[in-house]
């Protein structure tokens, strides 16, 4: 008889085995499993928030990716208690009730942007960690009874699962955030204007993998995103920590939400992920097993 962890690993390995198309996938296996567990274990909690949105207080949900700096970034970002958002040492913004600012988009957006930028400043000035070539992405979802506010930096992603046909059990993936990649025209423009260079790795004279951000005079840092916390070298050529903020008004058929890093999105699409999770949602399967 398999225990819970063994069942979970077996299920995840079956998903991963379907998508092992290259050696790169094997080296990324741990990252995929970690993010997949996040999806499976958290989706029912997110389902609860959506189903109870008329009664719920404002909440903040976030996933922060970064192998060296995520703990520091987490501690620097806003701490949320019930209906209060407490920003990190931003003068004049302590203990603001979120409900005061919802409906005043420009105000809450300013608070969020300052919080992200302040978190990055504290991170890069921290002598305990070298953030020259290390960093973290972050996608967050501020949840209210009527809408979602989604600040994002980097290539983590938030996706809603919307039921579009109950009879056929068909769901549509609604992407709540945009991946900040060098292939995005506005992101590319900022990097080039800051004297950066964009191209893939070169191996044996050929381009390999996705477009990356480099400084002009050297083969560093090779970052595959255009916004992040930390990454001080990349910041010299236009990689920023200012979040892109999107707002989403709920649809009655929005059933669940997925928040994950590129450990998921590098290998499966938003729609594929929704198609996997919908089965757990339909079965009210809190553990993420069949």
Q: What is the pLDDT of residues 47-71, one digit of tens each?
A: 444 444 444 445 566 656 554 455 5
| 217 Cβ contact list (under 8 Å, min separation 6) | none
Mean pLDDT of 218-235: 95
Structurally, the chain folds into a number of domains equal to 1
Q: Which residue has the tokens 């008329």?
A: 54
Could you tell me if residue 252 is inside a domain?
yes
* CA dist list (Å): 23 to 19, 26, 50, 272, 273: 11, 5, 38, 22, 22
Could you tell me if residue 146 is inside a domain?
yes
Give counts: helices (H), strands (E), the chain.
10, 14
Is it the case that residue 83 has pLDDT exceeding 50?
no
CA distance 226 to 248: 23
Q: Give pLDDT, residue 27.
A: 35
87: domain CATH number is 3.60.40.10
Could you tell me if residue 290 is inside a domain?
no
pLDDT tens string 276-287: 999 989 988 866
Lowest mean pLDDT among 113-122, 149-158, 218-227: 113-122
pTM summary value: 0.69
Phi–psi pair at 231, nearest 5 degrees: 50, 60
Sign of CA dihedral 274, 279, 284, 285: negative
Q: Is 87 helix (H, G, I), strand (E, B) or coil?
A: coil
Could you tell me if residue 110 is inside a domain?
yes
Could you tell me if residue 207 is inside a domain?
no
Could you tell me if residue 28 is inside a domain?
no
Mean pLDDT of 110-131: 90
Could you tell me if residue 8 is inside a domain?
no
Could you tell me if residue 116 is inside a domain?
yes
End-to-end Cα distance, the chain: 15
Q: Indicate the average pLDDT of the chain.
A: 75
> Domain span at residue 144?
35-179+243-279
Is it the case that residue 39 has pLDDT exceeding 80?
no
Q: Give pLDDT, residue 195.
A: 97
């Amino acid at each position: 008889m398999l225990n819970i962890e063994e069942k979970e690993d077996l299920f995840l390995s079956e998903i991963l085995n379907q998508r092992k198309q290259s050696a790169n996938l094997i080296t990324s296996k741990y990252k995929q499993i970690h993010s997949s567990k996040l999806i499976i274990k958290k989706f029912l909690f997110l389902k609860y928030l959506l189903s109870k949105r008329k009664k719920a207080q404002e909440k903040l949900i976030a996933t922060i990716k970064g192998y060296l700096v995520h703990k520091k970034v987490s501690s620097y970002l806003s701490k949320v208690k019930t209906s209060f958002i407490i920003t990190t040492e931003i003068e004049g913004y302590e203990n603001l009730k979120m409900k005061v600012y919802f409906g005043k988009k420009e105000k809450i957006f300013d608070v969020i942007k300052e919080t992200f930028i302040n978190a990055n400043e504290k991170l890069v000035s921290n002598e305990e960690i070298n953030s020259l070539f290390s960093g973290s992405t972050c996608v967050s979802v501020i949840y209210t009874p009527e809408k979602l506010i989604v600040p994002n930096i980097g290539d983590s992603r938030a996706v809603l699962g919307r039921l579009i046909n109950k009879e056929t059990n068909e769901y549509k993936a609604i992407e709540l955030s945009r991946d900040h990649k060098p292939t995005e025209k506005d992101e590319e423009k900022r990097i080039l204007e800051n004297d950066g260079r964009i191209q893939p790795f070169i191996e044996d004279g050929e381009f390999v993998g996705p477009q990356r951000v480099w400084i002009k005079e050297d083969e560093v840092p090779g970052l595959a995103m255009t916004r992040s916390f930390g990454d001080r070298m990349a910041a010299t050529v236009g990689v920023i920590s200012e979040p892109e903020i999107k707002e989403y008004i709920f649809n009655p058929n929005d059933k669940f939400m997925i928040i994950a890093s590129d450990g998921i999105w590098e290998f499966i699409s938003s729609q594929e992920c929704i198609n996997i999770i919908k089965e757990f949602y339909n079965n009210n399967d809190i553990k993420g097993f069949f």
